[in-house]
Amino acid sequence: MPEQTTQRPLIKDRQLAQDEWVRHDEESVPANARALVRLDVWLGAEDRSSIAPWLPSDTELDSATVAALKEAPLIAVDFPKFTDGRGYSLARVLRERHGYTGEIRAVGDVLIDQLFWMSRCGINAFSLREDQIVEDALNSLNIFSRHYQVSVDNPEPMFLRRQREAREAAKAEVALA
């Protein structure tokens, strides 16, 4: 009996999604497939319409690479082990410094405990490790309702939010009087 492979669960934009992309580890561009390929393969490809780059966590972004990445349909950021936090910085730099607006997908050793923090850094898709429970993962994205720190998903610090909310409440109170 052939061995069955388990597809990793994918959460995209805070909901379970069907993964249309496959990881391709070869040095050539696959034919007729939407594939995540190594960054060097992606950069060297003439036709990038059906491929997307897979960035190792130690990727250094130079201006030529950043300019090319802006056209990528998605960027996969590798987390080789859950204790490697370089992917958080890479995602945040892509969003904040370079203005990337497409999908940033966490791949590799992605655990439920990390999802909330990854989302705050600009990652909006998560290829979960096979042993993770999808329902728990979805719930973990909303584990905290308020944040003190600024982030990609909320650049306004808590003290400014409180001031704004107090002004709005005062205006509403005046309008009711």
Mean pLDDT of the chain: 89
Between 148 and 176, the higher pLDDT residue = 176
Residue-level pLDDT at 14: 94
Domain count, the chain: 2
Residue 1 resides in a domain? no
Do residues 107 and 61 both lie within one domain? Answer: yes
Is there a single domain that holds both residue 122 and residue 54? yes
User: What is the model's pLDDT at position 106?
Assistant: 97
pLDDT score at 69: 96
pLDDT value of residue 177:
76
Asked if the structure places residue 4 within a domain, the reply is no
Task: Give tens-digit pLDDT for 36-46.
Answer: 999 999 999 98
Say yes or no: 108 and 171 in one domain.
no
Amino acid at 111: L
Judge if 86 and 171 occupy the same domain: no
Q: Give me the count of residues in the chain.
A: 177
| pTM, entire model | 0.84
Give residue 28's domain range.
10-145
Task: List pLDDT tens digits, range 67-126.
Answer: 999 999 999 999 999 899 999 999 999 999 999 999 999 999 999 999 999 999 999 999
30-54 exposure pattern, b = at least 16 Cβ within 10 A, e = fewer: eeeebbbbbbebbeeeeebebbbbb
In-domain check, residue 151: yes
What confidence tier does 5 reach under pLDDT thresholds 50, 70, 90?
very low
Contacts of 58 (CB under 8 A, 6+ apart): 86
Q: Is there a contact between 86 and 55 (Cβ–Cβ < 8 Å)?
A: no
User: Is residue 24's pLDDT more than 90?
Assistant: no
Confidence at residue 1, expressed as pLDDT on a 0 to 100 scale: 31
Question: Are the CB atoms for 110 and 79 separated by under 8 Å?
Answer: yes
Evaluate whether residue 138 is within a structural domain. Answer: yes
Same domain for 137 and 70, yes or no, is yes
Q: Is 2 part of a structural domain of the chain? A: no
**Same domain, residue pair 170 and 113:** no
DSSP per-residue string spanning the chain:
-PPPPPPPPEEETTEEE----EE--SSSPPSSS-EEEEHHHHHH-S--TTEEEEE-TT----HHHHHHHTT-SEEEEEESSTT--HHHHHHHIIIIIT---SEEEEEES--HHHHHHHHHTT--EEE--TTS-HHHHHHHTTS-S--SS--SS--S-HHHHHHHHHHHHHHHHHHH-
CB count within 10 Å of CB 104 equals: 27
Residue 3 lies in a domain: no
pLDDT band at 2 (very low <50, low <70, confident <90, very high): very low
Pairing type for strands 10-12 and 125-127 reads: antiparallel
- In this predicted structure, which of 14-18, 80-84, 141-145, 146-150 has the lowest mean pLDDT? 146-150
